[in-house]
Amino acid sequence: MDVRLRHAHQRPLQEHTPVARPYSLITGKPMNIEWSANWDDNLGGNSELLERDVILRKVQEDVKMEFERTYMFYVPRICEHCLNPSCAASCPSGAIYKREEDGIVLVDQDACRGWRQCITGCPYKKVYFNHRTGKAEKCTFCFPRIEVGIPTVCSETCVGRLRYIGLVLYDADKVLEAATEPDEKRLYQAQRECFLDPHDPVVIEEARRAGIAEDWIAGAQKSPVWRLIHDYEVALPLHPEYRTMPMVWYIPPLSPIVDEVTRSAGPATDVESHDVLFSAIDTLRIPSAYLAELFTAGDVTIVENVLKKLAAMRSYMRDINLGRDPKAEIPASVGMTEEAMYDMYRLLAIAKYDERYVIPSAHVEDAHRLEELATDCAVSEYGGGDSPFGADSGRGGPVPVAIQSRNEIAKRMSADRMGDPSDRSEGLTQ
């Protein structure tokens, strides 16, 4: 076997993806892939892993693990870039920090001493250890791209267009109070109370006084994340009971229920009507109690209200798409206006690129300092190989990596044919 395949990431770009047997970074010997950092997202998927699912233990009396009723869904858990990051609090060397400019949590590779307390301290288990470099690494929220207004790679490549990026203004003085809220079921609301309304004249004036640029204020006002959290109230934090105050929020899944309702109610019943869908929320294939343990520290009422809004939107838009008169009572039944429900549908279903990603660019006054931070990227060292952010990333090359990426994206978005490896710029194939 060509030993160079072990360093496939250092090889020039080719037409086919290189395949090689995996080697352990600890022993250097061949190994079989049996488990990985994100595979625990599949807990509850089968009987072997069922015992390890701490959430399912709390609701196991309501869940029958019969084969025909087995449920499963994926929760794409990246680093939450928390307001109160436990990884930073547990780092003995102070290598993990939260950037003041945008709230991204990073690992300073020069300061990291490989204590690995951050791995233990992160309740989401999103910090890992690179045995080759002896450093802790984690999601960097693709900050070289964010700095020039480009979305993260995971967001832009999401086939379902499910990820949104936007600004949320918050009151830093309320973080400690919210994180120490004694009632776990109030933690969700306590974190929401930390967020500031970007349309409030008082907030706008204080933001200007704090030195926040006008385009950042405008970005916060157009933020899709703010709208999903505040205006529509359908986005929820993952495990608020951890008290880290995560800044990656989720919309609970409205799992398939139509077939189940059809079997029980009969073919003559309009199973898509909002009355039927509301009454069927309790029969969802993914139990509401399970979702509540994920997103609201066990408060089922909040989760059910979100699911009812999604079901109402589905029923309301069905009438419009079928040419029937829309029913104002459907959005009213979940406390929304017709205009708000249509706007929520547009954002969730047919929003355009610049509506899903509202990312103001970094300002020139921050350019030098942010350029220096590029060398602190948690995945910028691969034993002498190229960085995954581009050939010039973090090495003082003539072309900043974010500009390099932006040019590639612009070319791809405007092309009228599928890409080819020969189309890539020379800087990315070295």
Residue 38, classified by CB atoms within 10 Å of its CB into exposed (0-12), middle (13-18) or buried (19+), is: middle
What are the distances in angstroms from CA 308 to CA 78, 226, 278, 292, 304? 27, 20, 6, 14, 6
39/131 same-domain check? no
* pLDDT of the residue at 101: 83
370/350 same-domain check? no
311/387 same-domain check? no
280/347 same-domain check? yes
Is residue 292 included in any domain, yes or no?
A: yes
281/338 same-domain check? yes
CATH number, position 320: 1.10.3650.10
Buried/exposed 403-427: b ≥16 CB within 10 Å, e otherwise: ebbeebeeeeeeeeeeeeeeeeeeb
* pLDDT of the residue at 67: 39
Among 339, 355, 371, identify where a domain stops.
355
336/265 same-domain check? yes
Is residue 205 included in any domain, yes or no?
A: no
387 — phi, psi (to 5°)?
Answer: -75, 145
Among 294, 326, 355, identify where a domain stops.
355
Top-confidence residue, 398 or 331: 331
* pLDDT of the residue at 2: 46
Is residue 12 included in any domain, yes or no?
A: yes
Distance CA 76, CA 98 (A): 22
Distance CA 296, CA 308 (A): 16
What are the distances in angstroms from CA 86 to CA 64, 122, 137, 143, 381? 35, 6, 15, 20, 24
Q: What is the mean pLDDT of residues 283-301?
A: 85
User: Which residues make beta-bridge pairs with 105?
Assistant: 98
133/64 same-domain check? no
Distance CA 318, CA 276 (A): 14
pLDDT tens profile 27-82: 888 888 776 555 555 554 556 666 667 776 666 655 555 434 555 667 888 899 99
Is residue 157 included in any domain, yes or no?
A: no
Would you state the structure tokens that stand for residue 169, as one six-digit string? 């203004």
Greatest Cα-to-Cα distance within the chain, rounded to the nearest angstrom: 68
Query: Which residues are within 8 A (CB) of 350 and not within 5 positions of it... i.e. 6 or more apart?
Result: none
Instruction: Please provide the size of the chain in residues.
Output: 430
* pLDDT of the residue at 28: 85
What is the model's pTM?
0.71
345/256 same-domain check? yes
Distance CA 123, CA 125 (A): 5
pLDDT class of 398 with cuts at 50, 70, 90: very low
* pLDDT of the residue at 23: 81
For all residues of the chain together, what is the average pLDDT?
77
Is residue 39 included in any domain, yes or no?
A: yes
* pLDDT of the residue at 22: 78
375/346 same-domain check? no
pLDDT surpassing 80 at residue 397: no
Task: Report the Cα 4 to chain-centroid distance in Å.
Answer: 35
**Torsion 176-181-182-188 (CA) sign:** negative
CATH number, position 105: 3.30.70.20
315/384 same-domain check? no
pLDDT tens profile 168-210: 999 999 999 999 999 999 999 999 999 999 999 999 999 999 8
- How many domains does the chain contain in total? 3
- Print the domain residue range for 331: 250-355
pLDDT tens profile 347-385: 999 999 989 999 987 654 554 455 444 444 444 443 334
Buried/exposed 96-122: b ≥16 CB within 10 Å, e otherwise: bbbeeebbbbbbbbeebeeebbbbebb
